[in-house]
Chain A
Amino acid sequence: MKVIIKNWTGVATWKWIANDDNCGICRMPFDGCCPDCKLPGDDCPLVWGECSHCFHMHCIMKWLQSQQVNQQCPMCRQEWKFNNK
């Protein structure tokens, strides 16, 4: 089969990684731990931001520690605040 692409236009699109069942940082399903936890029994809690996005605690902590100035949610870029409710 020979595919001839007749036309396309470069458009920048940003597809956010679905953040319902997977952690938006490591992209692993929430029913397992983050890849840096070796044993499934390790304590790898989930945390939520006030923006309602959810991550493995280990993943979001690494991201927040790398951000010296503004700490933003990786998904929606709102200021990150832990939702403690």
Chain B
Amino acid sequence: MSLQIIINFTLTRIRANMSKGDENSYFYWDPLNDHEADSLTNTAMARIKKDLMTLYTDTPPGIFAVGDEKNLKFIYALIIGPMNTPYQGGFFYFVLKCPNDYPIQPPRMKLLTTDGGRVRFNPNLYETGKICVSILGTWTGPAWSPAQQISTWSPAQQISSLLLTIQSLLNEKPYYNEPGFDKEMVPGDSDRYNEIITYQTLRVAVCGMVENDCGLNIPESLQNIIKQSFLNFYEEYLLTIESKLHLSGTSVVDPFTSVAIKLDYAELRNRLVSIHSRLSASKSQEE
């Protein structure tokens, strides 16, 4: 075992303990568990409205967001996994909550596409929904990637630049998002991780989100985008699944957790096809 590997193992341990530690202070990051009274400053109200307007008029590709008619603090966002990444076509749904003194402090933000707290989609996107990045103030360690270096929060950031930063986490080789992992611990780790993320994206972030099998409270406009995009991307999903059918029944070991994930592409294919026929049927009824 080389020194580099030992250091990496130690880093993983420390980080694992760290992330457990700050689950105790979950209300510092969790928009759904924050007990700040609702008293937005006038500046915060004006800024949130402006930020939403920018999102509506100058929408970045693959990003959709809506405000909350009843509470200006909440923003609901959908990021579609970029093409040619293991996240391709996946529906990643987020809740954001702006603090009373926004934009002095960043919003709190949570990923809800986690298969009910079971799937960690990225070294920075925990299964608890916590997003560990410096722009949200949830990562205070050394900056290891250019994106982390320049993107601590400042009032010159806005909701759309924040969502772009989060979208950039959904990249071609998410294994290397882990701090200290600029080299693979074991050769092939990055490919193995991509294999798992590709499968979990199709299972949890595509099928699971279209069926909303975790009963998430997703605004209707975003639900409609999910359904429409599913129909648009259907052929792509099917192609990916068919290219992976030979792996069905095999397992891949997650390089971070050492847990073996079973790839069940045969079942996933059936599920995808049946969702597609249900959706197309209800769509042709509407027309």
Q: Give A contacts to B, CB under 8 Å.
A: 2-17, 19, 24-28, 34-36, 38, 59, 62-63, 66, 72, 74-75, 77
Rounded to whole Å, the gap between the CB of B13 and the closest CB of chain A is 28
CA distance A62 to B155 in the complex (A): 10
* Set of chain B residues within 8 Å of A26, measured between Cβ atoms: 43, 46-47
B168 touches A66 (CB 8 A): no
Can you list 5 contacts pairing A with B, beta carbon distance less than 8 Å? A6-B83, A10-B167, A12-B168, A17-B156, A34-B43
Q: Is the interface of A mostly helix, strand, loop or mixed?
A: loop
Q: Using a Cβ cutoff of 8 Å, how many contacts connect chains A and B?
A: 88
CA distance A2 to B233 in the complex (A): 12
* Set of chain B residues within 8 Å of A3, measured between Cβ atoms: 232
Which 10 residue pairs across A and B have the least CB separation, nearest first? A12-B168, A10-B82, A35-B46, A35-B42, A74-B154, A25-B155, A74-B156, A35-B43, A10-B167, A74-B155
* Set of chain A residues within 8 Å of B160, measured between Cβ atoms: 15
* Set of chain A residues within 8 Å of B101, measured between Cβ atoms: 62, 66
CA distance A4 to B105 in the complex (A): 37
Using A7-B83, A10-B171 as known contacts, say yes or no to A36 and B155 having CB atoms under 8 A apart.
no
Rounded to whole Å, the gap between the CB of B90 and the closest CB of chain A is 12
CA distance A62 to B164 in the complex (A): 26
Rounded to whole Å, the gap between the CB of A23 and the closest CB of chain B is 9
B82 touches A8 (CB 8 A): yes
Using A10-B170, A27-B50 as known contacts, say yes or no to A72 and B104 having CB atoms under 8 A apart.
no
* Set of chain A residues within 8 Å of B154, measured between Cβ atoms: 63, 72, 74-75, 77
CA distance A36 to B43 in the complex (A): 6
A12 touches B46 (CB 8 A): no
* Set of chain A residues within 8 Å of B50, measured between Cβ atoms: 27
Nearest neighbor of A77 in chain B, beta-carbon distance:
B154
Using A5-B232, A34-B43 as known contacts, say yes or no to A63 and B155 having CB atoms under 8 A apart.
yes
